[in-house]
A and B are shown apart, each in its own frame.
Chain A
Amino acid sequence: MTTETMPSAGAPTSSRPAPAWRHQHILDLDNFGRDEIEAVLDTADSMREILDRRIARVPALRGRTVVNLFYEPSTRTRASFELAGKALGADVISLTAAMSSVQKGESLIDTVRTLRAMRADVIVMRHSSAGAAYLAAEHTDASIINAGDGAHAHPTQALLDLYTMRQHFGDLAGKRVVMVGDISHSRVARSDMWGLTALGARVVVCGPPTLLPRGLRASERPAHAESALPPVTVETDIERAIEGAHIVMALRLQSERQQGGLLPSVGEYARRYQVTAQRLARAHPDHILMHPGPKNEGVEIAADVATGDRSIIEEQVTNGVAVRMALLYLLAGYAPGDVDGGSR
């Protein structure tokens, strides 16, 4: 061993202390503390700088393999994980369920084990069933990143949302964040609630009563059971919800997840809950408008505000690559023996 590798004050490698990190997997943000979220966001700052270089590629993860395993369609999440892995020098392969042995009946657990046997270090997984990523994490020692499991969680989207919000507002403590739309089918909203709560933001969710998950209102909470959702304010009136908001996030009306009967019509929904310029006039003067995409312009968000000067939707996409680089980097540095808060 050489002394240059010691983390001493004089070693030329000491840039700043190692980040707080204790996760082997990233399944949701409900087990992330403020320090861990900030470790991700700080690391993402450095990754942003790399993406702005002429040659946006560093060798930090050379020799590591990242597998995207997508059982549901995705454009931006999958592409951004591919770009993130490649920018760090990892080998990245992407599998979609339609082209894999899933069509031949291979189980999720078999697939994950097979990928691990091929030396996959990180498996990025999207699945239509809530808990799929948790199941995978129990059956492999590869790192699992949940890239969306049913309507349950989408932690990497939430982290890029938090990163983008922090870019604009710095500290999020006390900021009013309003999520409007189909809350009950939104895995993004759930993970955002956890992350925003950990950073001290005031979270308001707004939507028609049929699209709000049960258990959100204080009165619906079981007295002692550990709650499945963090404390938020529930508002069914969009005007009241947006009042004074620093951040307004419109959520996609998920037509593929509507079993019918929840809404009278899409037109009726748009009339009552679309984020419009007129409604945004009630928000804080410095407000920003976000949307996790893909968006239905004219349904949950008006076309003019989606591309207006308050919209930072494209920044979210660019930041998504940096945040996913940060996560891949931090997971690669996870050492067995650390306390794992990833699986529960």
Chain B
Amino acid sequence: MPEQPGVAAEPHALLLDEAAVRRAVNRLAHEVVEANGGTEGLVLVGIRRRGATLAERLANAIATFEGTRPDCGALDVTLHRDDFAQRGLRSAPLPSDLPRIDGRSVVLVDDVLYTGRTVRAALDALNDFGRPNVVRLAVLVDRGHRELPIRADMVGKNIPTSPGDDVRVLLEEVDGRDAVLVVSRGGVQ
């Protein structure tokens, strides 16, 4: 199945272009270091899959201005979600791959923060790997409409949306280009 979504066929609006995504990632990288007071003990844990890609990018950006690259990990939350009974086999779980997190400052990274359920699953999964000193949340896009008491500590871009919209983050490594789009419901689905 091709990974590149057929967005051309759907009514959509471009929210962030390539340059805007790059600036948002850079700003996030600075905020992550600032919140942590440096890179000491810092671990970036991306939620598969675009969150994991973003975590790598943040680590690369931090390396350019701090001189040291923080550890990165990828967390798969498929088996921790609360909607398996409703959704069934929509996606296959992938192995998680985490560095040591005990006593360290973990920054969870994801592309879009929406209902908060993915983040809840990620916090739950993280517990099984150890006990970090602190866990923060960094997202590229916060689109609102939370269903759980969860908020991001660092946000690349706040984008007001209506619940019927579908916000898609495209990343070069996964999708062939960088962009954030909003696809209105009623498009091709």
* B76 and A58 contact, CB distance less than 8 A: no
Which residues of A have CB within 8 Å of B114?
2-4, 12
Partner among A15, A42, A59 whose Cβ is within 8 Å of the Cβ of B124: A59
B133 within 8 A of A: no
21 contacts between A and B (CB under 8 A): A3-B165, A3-B166, A4-B118, A9-B3, A10-B111, A10-B170, A12-B47, A15-B78, A15-B91, A15-B93, A15-B94, A16-B91, A18-B89, A42-B92, A49-B97, A50-B79, A55-B127, A57-B128, A60-B78, A60-B81, A332-B84
* A18 and B95 contact, CB distance less than 8 A: no
- Shortest CB-to-CB span from B41 to chain A, Å, is 19
Return the chain B residue nearest A19 by Cβ: B92
0 or 1 for each of B107-135: is its CB under 8 Å from A? (1 = yes): 00011101101100000110111100000
A330 within 8 A of B: yes
Return the chain B residue nearest A45 by Cβ: B95
Which residues of B have CB within 8 Å of A335?
88-89
0 or 1 for each of B49-88: is its CB under 8 Å from A? (1 = yes): 1110000000000000000000000001111110111111
In addition to A8-B5, A58-B79, 16 A-B residue pairs with Cβ atoms within 8 Å of each other are A3-B163, A5-B83, A5-B86, A8-B183, A9-B168, A10-B111, A10-B169, A10-B170, A12-B50, A12-B112, A12-B114, A13-B78, A21-B89, A58-B128, A60-B84, A332-B84
A interface bracket (residues with beta carbon within 8 Å of B): 35 or more
A63 within 8 A of B: yes
Q: How far is the CA of A4 from the CA of B119 in the complex (A)?
A: 12
Report which A residues bind B (CB closer than 8 A).
2-19, 21, 39, 42-43, 45-50, 53-61, 63, 88, 329-330, 332-335
Q: How far is the CA of A265 from the CA of B167 in the complex (A)?
A: 72
B185 within 8 A of A: yes
Are A19 and B87 also in contact (CB < 8 A) when A9-B175, A13-B81 are? no
Q: How far is the CA of A334 from the CA of B87 in the complex (A)?
A: 10
Which residues of B have CB within 8 Å of A334?
88-89
Are A4 and B130 also in contact (CB < 8 A) when A10-B111, A17-B1, A88-B79 are? no
- Shortest CB-to-CB span from B31 to chain A, Å, is 20
* A330 and B93 contact, CB distance less than 8 A: no
Q: How far is the CA of A146 from the CA of B147 in the complex (A)?
A: 41
Q: How far is the CA of A45 from the CA of B87 in the complex (A)?
A: 22
Which residues of A have CB within 8 Å of B51?
12
* B170 and A9 contact, CB distance less than 8 A: yes
* B89 and A12 contact, CB distance less than 8 A: no
**5 closest cross-chain pairs (CB), A and B:** A10-B168, A333-B89, A49-B95, A9-B5, A58-B79
Q: How far is the CA of A111 from the CA of B7 in the complex (A)?
A: 53
The CB with the most chain A CB atoms within 10 A, among B83, B89, B124, is that of B89
Which residues of B have CB within 8 Å of A17?
1, 91-92
* A15 and B5 contact, CB distance less than 8 A: no
